[in-house]
């Protein structure tokens, strides 16, 4: 039905009422043009500086395009550079599917089996529980169900070599029994990379370049952030108090290299097309435009997508509130769920200021890949489902024609953000005003150690406490109440945290509490070997 508006016009003192047909926004008839217009509107609505979308169906590229800018610049800073199909973005955790494929190649070569004990290849590999250490298999390194909780602090809050990260796993108490739960984490993928190195004799970053990037012709793709020197790269952004700010710290971006197999690859649409086609077509690819080859055998390719473990509601995405899947599983480097009677394989990637998503409707030979340079810009999900609706499913279904995923997900994530702000205000309301620290500020200064979490240095500068965590995260401490302080990070994208100081029975500062962990203060003249070890 056409909407009718009425226009009221005054002619010589007489009011004349005339109908005026409302101008309906024109929707392109061509599906690709319609989807392209939808993406452009979503980029504006979500205020994303820059984004790429790549859509492949039946081996053909339907869309491969950049939107927005690589770096948002202020007034007087020159014209921003546009995103194009060669602009490098972080693949982040969509890297995991590549690492799983690398292990699959070694399986095909008979050099390892999925169910071999990890210690067959990494004799020094050790978890907290010796029984779990003996029983954990290569497959378990890829499925997030080995009992290890999130241990990202080992690379995001300290700068230690990969071997040291793995060494400290023996200090982490299990969050659940082996294969009895699911907690998403990154460190086990680092161990998978070390297995690849041990078996092949090549570091993971060299192996993935020689065995995936080069055969597929992915000439611009880089395995590690430190290799990204091209000017045509996206810069990360975060939204702070409704203001989009640029993140210029290369330390923050480069920290992921320590766990490279979990998420350090950078790529662009021109290269990703080859990877998307390969993963849709039983790992086959064209060599030289004529000969068809395969990265994996059909059986091993299928194993990557075979459900390996169930994913709980608490470990899945908030999008489930709208998509309402009946089941949720994880394969080898891929999340999975049902959508309108079809299986979806997908994985997101998130680093500070960068996001990605790679999704498949395998029975429709359809894949979509989205990259963006705004922290947790969840329009990535909206664009994936919209692509499924537009190019993979029945276009006459009213659910396809009218479902506006971008608007729905903006409302969903907006509600979640409001809920988080309310929880923060509720926590702030517990503050006891008009209190003061138990001791002079100089008493809190010093070094605090923990064998797992590293070192925190506290100093007094210009009458205020300052803190440094593993010489990587820094910030100032303002008094909150009693012996609790509010930490405001110098790295603004990290926001703030609570830091508490615990006193011993003699009234001296004994420990520092941060992020749910406690570090012991180093006391001159005492044996602190246990804390420092």
pLDDT of residue 27: 65
As given in the structure block, the two tokens for residue 411 are 């409302």
Q: Please answer whether residues 63 and 33 qualify as being in contact, where contact means their C-beta atoms are separated by less than 8 angstroms.
A: no
pLDDT tens for 396-430 read: 666 555 689 999 999 999 999 999 999 999 989 99
pLDDT reading at 21 higher than 50: no
Q: Beta strands 284-287 and 291-294: pairing type?
A: antiparallel
Taken in order of first residue, the domains within the chain and their CATH numbers are 87-369 (3.40.710.10), 441-532 (2.40.128.50)
Residue 503 three-state SS:
strand
pLDDT of residue 253: 74
Using the structure block, give the residue that is written with the tokens 């793995």. Answer: 166
- Rounded CA gap, 364 and 342, in Å? 9
Q: What is the 3-state secondary structure (H, E, C) of 207-248?
A: HHHHHHHHHHCCCCCECCHHHCCCCCECCCEEEECCEEEECC
88: DSSP letter: B
The partner residues of 68 in beta bridges, in order of sequence, read: 50
Percent of residues, the chain, with pLDDT higher than 90: 85
Mean pLDDT value of segment 360-389: 97
CA-wise closest residue to 191 among 131, 255, 252, 143: 143
Rounded-to-10 torsion of CA 314, 91, 157, 470: 170
Q: Please answer whether residues 454 and 472 qualify as being in contact, where contact means their C-beta atoms are separated by less than 8 angstroms.
A: no
Q: How far from the centroid of its chain's Cα atoms is residue 198's Cα?
A: 27
Neighbours of 249 (CB within 10 A): 15
CA-wise closest residue to 236 among 362, 395, 371, 123: 371
Average pLDDT, the chain: 91
- Rounded CA gap, 16 and 14, in Å? 6
pLDDT of residue 412: 98
Mean pLDDT value of segment 15-22: 42
pLDDT tens for 503-528 read: 999 999 999 999 889 999 998 766 55
pLDDT tens for 97-106 read: 999 999 999 9
pLDDT reading at 450 higher than 90: yes
pLDDT band at 5 (very low <50, low <70, confident <90, very high): very low
The partner residues of 10 in beta bridges, in order of sequence, read: 15
Which residues contact residue 441 at a Cβ distance below 8 angstroms, ignoring those fewer than 6 apart? 460, 463, 464, 465
Neighbours of 329 (CB within 10 A): 21
- Detail the DSSP E strand segments found in 389-472: 446-450, 454-461, 464-469
Mean pLDDT value of segment 451-470: 96
pLDDT reading at 394 higher than 80: no
488: DSSP letter: E
Pick the range with the lowest mean pLDDT from 47-61, 115-129, 244-258, 490-504: 244-258
pLDDT reading at 18 higher than 70: no
Residue 75 three-state SS:
coil
pLDDT of residue 448: 98
Percent of residues, the chain, with pLDDT higher than 70: 90
- Rounded CA gap, 147 and 482, in Å? 37
pLDDT reading at 126 higher than 70: yes
Mean pLDDT value of segment 250-272: 92
pLDDT of residue 509: 98
pLDDT of residue 29: 79
CA-wise closest residue to 384 among 359, 350, 355: 359
pLDDT reading at 24 higher than 70: no
CA-wise closest residue to 54 among 25, 94, 81: 94
pLDDT band at 532 (very low <50, low <70, confident <90, very high): very low
Instruction: Measure CA of the first residue to CA of the last residue in the chain; give whole Å.
Output: 74
Q: Please answer whether residues 292 and 220 qualify as being in contact, where contact means their C-beta atoms are separated by less than 8 angstroms.
A: no
- Rounded CA gap, 4 and 181, in Å? 57
The partner residues of 244 in beta bridges, in order of sequence, read: 239
114: DSSP letter: T
DSSP string of 31-49, one letter each residue: HHHHHHHHHHHHHHHHT-S
More confident residue, 16 or 135: 135
pLDDT tens for 175-225 read: 999 999 999 999 999 999 999 999 999 999 999 999 999 999 999 999 999
Sign of CA dihedral 299, 300, 303, 305: negative
pLDDT band at 274 (very low <50, low <70, confident <90, very high): very high
pLDDT of residue 526: 65
pLDDT of residue 249: 75
pLDDT reading at 288 higher than 80: no
- Rounded CA gap, 447 and 459, in Å? 9
To the question of pTM greater than 0.75 for the whole model, the response is yes
As given in the structure block, the two tokens for residue 291 are 């000969």
- Rounded CA gap, 504 and 500, in Å? 13
- Crossing angle for the helix pair 405-428 and 31-46, to the nearest 10 degrees: 20
pLDDT reading at 168 higher than 80: yes
Count the residues in the chain. Answer: 533
Which residues contact residue 279 at a Cβ distance below 8 angstroms, ignoring those fewer than 6 apart? 97, 360, 367
Q: How far from the centroid of its chain's Cα atoms is residue 358's Cα?
A: 12
């Amino acid at each position: 039905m056409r909407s009718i508006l009425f226009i009221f016009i005054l002619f010589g003192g007489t009011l004349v009422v005339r109908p005026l047909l409302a101008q309906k926004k024109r929707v392109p008839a061509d599906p690709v043009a319609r989807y392209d217009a939808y993406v452009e509107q979503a980029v504006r609505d979500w205020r994303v500086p820059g984004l790429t979308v790549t859509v492949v169906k039946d081996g053909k590229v339907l869309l491969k395009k950049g939107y927005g800018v690589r770096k948002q610049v202020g007034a007087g800073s020159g014209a921003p550079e546009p995103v194009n199909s060669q602009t490098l973005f972080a693949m982040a955790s969509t890297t995991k599917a590549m690492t799983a494929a690398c292990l699959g190649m070694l399986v095909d070569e008979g050099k390892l089996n999925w169910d071999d004990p990890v210690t067959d290849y990494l004799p020094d590999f050790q978890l907290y529980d010796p029984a779990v250490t003996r029983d954990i298999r290569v497959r378990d390194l890829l499925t997030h169900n080995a009992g290890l909780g999130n241990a990202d602090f080992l690379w995001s809050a300290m700068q230690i070599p990969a071997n040291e990260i793995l060494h400290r796993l023996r200090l982490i108490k299990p969050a659940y029994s082996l294969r009895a739960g699911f907690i998403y984490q990154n460190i086990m993928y680092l161990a998978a990379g070390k297995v690849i190195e041990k078996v092949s004799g090549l570091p993971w970053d060299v192996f993935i370049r020689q065995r995936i990037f080069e055969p597929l012709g992915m000439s611009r793709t880089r395995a590690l952030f430190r290799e990204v020197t091209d000017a045509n790269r996206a810069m990360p952004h975060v939204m702070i108090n409704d203001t989009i700010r640029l993140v210029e710290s290369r330390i923050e971006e480069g920290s992921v290299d320590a766990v490279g197999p979990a998420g350090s690859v950078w790529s662009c649409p021109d290269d990703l097309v080859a990877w998307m086609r390969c993963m849709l077509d039983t790992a086959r690819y064209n060599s030289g435009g004529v000969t068809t080859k395969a990265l994996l055998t059909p059986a091993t390719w299928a194993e990557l997508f075979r459900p390996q473990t169930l994913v709980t509601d608490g470990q899945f995405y908030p999008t489930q509130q709208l998509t309402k899947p009946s089941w949720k599983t994880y394969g080898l480097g891929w999340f999975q769920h049902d959508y309108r009677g079809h299986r979806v394989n997908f994985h997101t990637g998130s680093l500070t200021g960068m996001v990605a998503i790679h999704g498949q409707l395998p029975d429709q030979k359809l894949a979509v890949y989205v990259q963006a340079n705004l922290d947790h810009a969840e329009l990535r999900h909206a664009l994936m489902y919209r692509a499924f609706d537009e190019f993979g499913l029945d276009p006459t279904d009213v659910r396809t024609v009218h479902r506006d995923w971008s608007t729905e997900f903006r409302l969903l994530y907006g509600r979640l953000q409001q809920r988080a702000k309310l929880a923060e205000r509720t926590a702030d309301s517990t503050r006891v005003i008009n209190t003061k620290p138990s001791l002079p500020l100089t008493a809190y200064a010093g070094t605090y150690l923990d064998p797992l979490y590293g070192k925190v240095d506290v100093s007094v500068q210009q009458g205020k406490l300052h803190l440094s965590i593993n010489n990587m995260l820094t910030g100032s401490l303002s008094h909150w109440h009693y012996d609790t302080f509010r930490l405001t990070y110098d790295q603004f994208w990290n926001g703030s945290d609570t830091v508490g100081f615990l006193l011993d029975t003699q009234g001296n500062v004994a420990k520092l509490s941060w992020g749910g962990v406690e570090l012991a203060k180093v006391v001159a003249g005492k044996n602190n070997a246990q804390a420092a070890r």
